[in-house]
Chain A
Amino acid sequence: MKIHDFVFATKISEACELLRKTGESAYLIAGGTSTFFVKSRAPRNVIDINRLPLKGIAKKDGVFKIGACTTVNELMKYKAAGWVLNRVALRFVNQQVRNISTIGGNVAKVFYWCDFPVALRVLEGTLTLTGSATHRVKISEVFHNITAQKAAFKNAILEYIEIPQLTKGMGFGYAKETRTSEGFSSVTAAAFVQVEHGLIADVRIALGAVLPFPLRMFDLEASLKGKKADRSAVEGMNFQKLDKYNLTPREGMTPEYCRHLVEVKIADVVSAALAEATGGSL
């Protein structure tokens, strides 16, 4: 990326104004790692929002409110009952990158198809965006096609991400398969389950990396709802429901291996979520 000018925004309103004024050449950064992946050499006017008060995690009324400029390392180290994004953060590249990369950058700019948004889709997270006005959107409204994703972050600043606190009877599973510990994702999968009276009352499964967007596997979810919350539910999963998705193998993967890995990882995350929800191991 070619930087023409660089400004530290001191207020959210100032950042919004700069974003509006500079138009197409504006480029928002927080940690700044995304600048590495911009191939275009067109001069950009960079607006750094990393010094705005958008850092940290607060818990209120069963909801975690995460500032967009919170680093991945802070997410990893945060401890609270029902907090699960530390598991996602732990699989994010390496310590040095976690110290500078932010959750907002991951959601709005870099590799949104394979890291936090996959988890946020099953947690049914919401995003608070500020442009000409402030509004809250469901992550599912942003991550379903490229047009929606681009439109959401054009002329708007991501301020907060909110996710519910997991409580008793709920479980979360996350897996990111990479060729080396800090490599790019081959397959990312996440699952959320809620168990009531020994049955799967609610289940959400999302898949990333092999798809251009983190998508919910609604058919697969439907086939699990109401089933007994034990190993038999996982063993009986109907993976033919995946046939309709055009899975894209990442580097070094055959289509057969890609499909196999997707099935294994989905089974893993559903198993992990069920184990957590039932307080045991499957």
Chain B
Amino acid sequence: MMKMKKISFTLNGVEKEFEIDPNERLLALLRRNGYKGTKYGCLEGACGACTVIMDGKAVNSCKILTIECDGKSIITIEGLRDPKTGALDPLQQAFVDHAAFQCGFCTPGMIMTARALLNENPHPTDAEIKEALSGNFCRCVSHYHVLRAVASVAEKGR
């Protein structure tokens, strides 16, 4: 019989407590609690559809044991919107403006990866954007639009 564990972490700026099975992955917990912008993709850390930001770094939530999030800060796609005004994050708006998606399944993961990059490096080069997004797959081949969207935000303020 596995031992259930109590943990707490900051989810989209709000402190939350959970009682969890230590086998559970963060992706499953998020979706079980209604954060469905984070997608089930390959479930092996290859496609990037489940990307969230943990302590400022883009990570695959399918690979993270929920218990390892204890005491950490997690941001999902739902947490990017301004909580007061409801305005989209500039990166989300750029994806809309550049039509940087087709079916949209990979888009939350793309945005979270790009957001982590821009938080750390506000003005990345095209090569740095490509490198950062190399772990996010898109079967609709929206990558060129995605690169333009991310670059448009990166270029602002230069």
Q: Which residues of A contact B (CB under 8 A)?
A: 1-6, 8, 32-33, 35-36, 43, 46, 48, 50, 73, 93-97, 99-100, 181-182
Contact = CB atoms under 8 A, between A and B. Distances in A.
Contact of A32 (B46, B68, B113): B68
B44 to A, nearest CB: 7
Contacts of A181: 134
Contacts of B5: 6
A4 B2 CA distance: 4
The 8 nearest A-B residue pairs measured at CB = A94-B135, A6-B22, A99-B57, A96-B60, A3-B22, A3-B23, A96-B135, A5-B3
Contact of B45 (A1, A4, A36, A43): A36
B48 interface: yes
Contacts of B65: 3, 6, 32, 35
A51 to B, nearest CB: 9
Contact of B63 (A4, A100, A182): A100
Contacts of A8: 70
Interface residues of B, number: 28
A43 B21 CA distance: 13
Interface string B98-129: 00000000000000010001000000000000
Contact of B22 (A46, A96, A100, A182): A46
A251 B153 CA distance: 40
Interface of B is mostly: mixed
Contacts of B151: none
24 contacts: A1-B23, A2-B2, A3-B23, A4-B2, A5-B22, A6-B67, A32-B63, A32-B64, A33-B63, A43-B2, A46-B22, A48-B67, A50-B68, A73-B57, A94-B135, A95-B113, A95-B117, A95-B132, A95-B134, A95-B135, A96-B51, A96-B58, A96-B59, A99-B54
B19 interface: no
Contacts of B135: 93-97, 182
Nearest to B70: A8
Contacts, number: 75
A2 B65 CA distance: 12
B22 A97 contact: no
A100 B46 CA distance: 14
Contacts of A32: 63-65, 68
A95 B58 contact: yes
A96 B45 contact: yes
B82 interface: no
B141 to A, nearest CB: 15
A73 B58 CA distance: 11
Contact of B23 (A2, A93, A95, A99): A2
Contacts of A94: 45-46, 48, 134-135
Nearest to B130: A181
Contacts of A182: 46, 134-135
B51 to A, nearest CB: 6
Contact of A36 (B22, B63, B68, B113): B63
Contacts of B117: 95
Interface string B36-80: 000000001110100100100111100111011010000000000
B42 to A, nearest CB: 11
